[in-house]
Structure 1
Amino acid sequence: RVTFLEANQGQSCFDACENAELACQMHWFELLNNCDALRAGFPFGADHCSENFYGRDLPAFRPEDATLLVNQKPRVYAASCGGKHSKTRRLCGCGFRKGGSTSSRTFHTVYNVQPSRYFEWQVRYMHLWFKQADMPGRITRLLTANAADPLSATIPTHVAPPPRNPKDPGYSPYNKPSAVNHWLRKARPTEDVIIVVDPDCMFIRPLDIVVEEGSPIAQQAFYHFNLDSDEIPMQIARRYCKNCTFLDPIAVPMIVHRRDLLKIAPLWLSKTMEIRNDRHNWPNCWDNRTCSTVGLGWTAEMFGYVFAASELGIRHEIWDLQVVPPVHKEVITSIIHYHVEVP
């Protein structure tokens, strides 16, 4: 069953459905993304329909000039339940929550580091900002090491052994999926909502979005997957995710239901290893930043997560959850990802 609701101007479908004690269902945006459907949804006051715009807040109705707006690039800028614009009203498909009473408002934030002075100051600031921002739930440092370090005495820490890949021993991003997987299976957290961030993230306000099982939310990555193109992200996807029917260009922060992350984590690691073990066969531009921004030599772990989620059929909402420097504007997100360079 679905209930279609008109959101208020400037309101997201996430909030419109939430106010009706329902959950926004993302798949309806594809069916609503045409002029006929929008005219039926907004029968009064719409003078014409335009297909010249794109964005995650579309399809929508713009009252100031009585224009219906169809999303011109739905594959690249897929509509999001969280998308909103101060000048538009959205038509929202709302249904019953999939998680029902089993989805609780409990949170656990995690991030991965190695024992070093380089990470120590980031860790201390991370926990300071977490507290100052009044973040919900707990936070745990996932430490990739063979034993606890001195910081473990004052910082909530889970020690995860370093992953082993004899073919590629120097690639440290393996640590993230490996540590997340180890923590989930050994520490057995009970919180439903897991927030995965990087250590160089600054919390400036609470990030308390509740996700249901099967409906995670993540940040837009610096690249896109245009299914009709031969751009480098799609070249990579066609090699390592051949049967994937969708691809979510995502990055941290990722807000995932614990049961979804339990499925994703082991495949995330194995897909990352699959990509890295094939690195001697990569075309030059996959890792050469002079002809592409992808830099697969470092970002293989990001693609590993995307492909793992896609193979499992777990589709992400893409929201603006963070900003990165230089920030010369009012910050409305919960996180500033300040990006320190890895030495």
Structure 2
Amino acid sequence: MGTAEIGHARPRPCARQWGAAGPRSAAARARCASAAASSLLPLLLLLAGGALAAAAGWAPVTGDNYKEPTDAGNVHTVFLTDCTAYADWQTLTLAYSWRQSGQPGPLTRIMSCTDEEAKAHKPDTLESVTTHTAPSYATAVRTGDHYAAYNKPGAIKDWLKHFSPEEEWILILEADMILRQPITPEDFNLTSPGHAVGARYEHLAGVSNQLAAQHIPEVVPRADALAGPPGRRADQVGGFMLVHRDDLRRIAPLWLKYTEDVRADPQASGSPQAWAGGSRRIMLTEPAHAAASEATRDAGDRAAARAGRRACGGVVVAEAWKYAGDTLARNQGDKPWLAEMYGYVFAAAKADVWHRWDKEAMLYPGYTPQGVVHILHYGVQWKVTPATGEPWSFDKKDFNAFDISRCPPWETGLKRPTSGLLPPPPAPSKLVKHNDSIDRYRELLALEPVLTANAALCQHYLRICRPSKQLARVCDIVDDAYQALNHKLERMDGIMACGDFLRFFAAA
């Protein structure tokens, strides 16, 4: 494959039904059968037939449990950024992964900028990514509080004010994600407004205590456990959200309001104890502090992250314990960095939009997968230890000055380059050999964000830069590494997708 054609779309494995061991739809079952045919047990699978599949609990999904969508491309994917160089390389990476994943529908970058930032930004470097530029909402008009994560609800509200998406469903991602497999409403049996899906975030303790009772007292506590414990007034979801367009229009203004309210609430500050009692299973999905803290620290608001004491509406926030479960708000007067997440779930509850949480689709690199990973969220540092040689680690915040507009020549071999390519991880062949498929899958997934970023960067440079020997050489190396990883991950995705089915036959 030539360097002008970096990468290819990965075949999609079967997905998993809510609370069941088998794939959701006829198309998914066909994908699972295809994956199984290339597994270690093809003969057993061919001979087993439907009776054994039923005995394994792998029954077809019929009737009210599953409805085929009217339009498989009925999803509009959006992600939120500021307008810095730091956001640009992440934008390239996400857009590239979106194309490779086969995600249906369009992709839009929603970019929050001040007037000065918008003038300084170089839009020509990212002309391949549709972008909506929104004002900066980082300083709340109502309270004067500075919190970069206000940009998320504010910019989505602005986008919906100026744009009417044709697609019924909106997939909301973070810039520091790569999309590995499509996320569609049929994957989660979403068929109508009022229902949504998000990643599991059990550390949002405030949905079940006085925090929710204070901010949304009119919401009747839930009796189900679809996205949190019974008795909650809002759902414990975050990370990515798949929500109906009409619901998002109702949620967006409330999202900003409740984010401001929670930031101003002296009862919202968390304590270390609130997270210390959490389960290890949660950590496999998402570090407790990561999502809420990223926007603030990425925007250079480190002083605010350290101090966290701000006057709000003339009242100094004085308490710092009890209700939010925020590990970054440990000291008296700290404001919760989880406020934006609470803003969303409180707004959704107020709008009568309820979620099912997903425990498998999203993962931080280095954590143990629970199933097929659709989204990798590389928001915190992780490490890979090869069989020989030094450990490799990556922290996206080390590359906040990375400039995607600079063409070769580049200085290579730097630990923290500011142009060219990101420091590559070990080759898949250099990893420690694991007998357990989940360990192998975890290790391979840890390589994927940076290899995807470098593949995206190469595609970008091949478009904007003059041909050169260095560009051809380094991008050939990138392509070889990306394809080698893709080959291994395609097989592992299939094994993980049909894991319950295959393990049944392995034990038979």
Return the TM-score normalized by structure 1. Answer: 0.65
Backbone CA RMSD of aligned residues = 3.7
Aligned to 1:327: 367
Query: Which runs of structure 2 are paired with 1:292-307 in the superposition (5 Å)?
Result: 297-307=336-346
- For the 8 Å contact 1:220–1:318, the answer to whether it is kept is yes
Give the match for residue 199 of structure 1: 175
Deviation at 1:111, TM superposition (A): 0.9
1:275-298 deviation line (CA, Å, top 9, x unaligned) = 123344463124554869xx8621
Structure with bigger RCO (C-alpha 8 Å, 6+ apart): 2
Aligned to 1:266: 253
Whether the 8 Å contact between 1:219 and 1:254 is mirrored in structure 2 is yes
Pair 326,15 (structure 1): closer, same or farther in 2 beyond 3 Å: same
- Decide which structure has greater helix share: 2
| Structure-2 residue corresponding to 1:81 | none
> In the alignment, what sits opposite 2:319?
283
**Matched residue SS, 2:151:** helix
Q: Flag the structure with larger Rg.
A: 2
Aligned to 1:162: 136
The equivalent residue for 2:32 is: none
Q: Does 1:135 align with 2:103?
A: yes
Distance of 2:260 and 2:329 partners within structure 1:
25
* Greater shift in the superposed pair: 307-316 or 204-213: 204-213
Q: Give the deviation of 1:141 after TM superposition.
A: 0.5
Structure 1 residue aligned with 2:147, among 154, 171, 188?
Answer: 171
Shift of 1:217: 1.2
Structure 1 equivalent of residue 301 of structure 2: none
CA-to-aligned-CA distance 1:99-141 (integer Å, 9 cap, x gap): 996x774111111111112212111111111111111111111
Q: 3-state DSSP class of the match of 2:373?
A: coil
Gaps of 5+ in 2: 1-17, 30-53, 221-232, 267-315, 381-395, 401-508
Structure 2 vs 1, CA of residues 11 and 237 (structure 1 numbering), >3 Å: closer, same or farther? same
Are the equivalent residues in 1 in contact too, given 2:199–2:237 (CA < 8 A)? Answer: yes
The Cα of 1:234 is off from its aligned counterpart by: 2.0
2:122 to 143, 150, 169: 150
| Equivalent position SS for 2:108 | strand
Partner residue, 2:239: 252
Q: Give 1 or 2: higher strand fraction.
A: 1
Letter in structure 1 aligned against 2:357? I
In structure 2, the partner of 1:113 is: 81
1:315 offset after TM fit, Å? 0.8
**How far apart are residue 205 of structure 1 and its match?**
1.6
Contact 1:105 1:193 in 2 (8 A): no
- Whether the 8 Å contact between 1:323 and 1:331 is mirrored in structure 2 is no
CA contact (8 A) 2:258 2:344 kept: yes
Unpaired runs of 5+ residues, structure 1, are: 1-6, 20-62, 65-85, 226-230
In the superposition, the TM-score normalised over structure 2's length comes to 0.46
Partner of residue 339 from structure 1, selected from 369, 379, 382: 379
After superposition, where does 1:41-120 map in structure 2 within 5 Å?
94=64, 105-120=73-88
**Cα distance in structure 1, aligned partners of 2:243 and 2:318:** 31
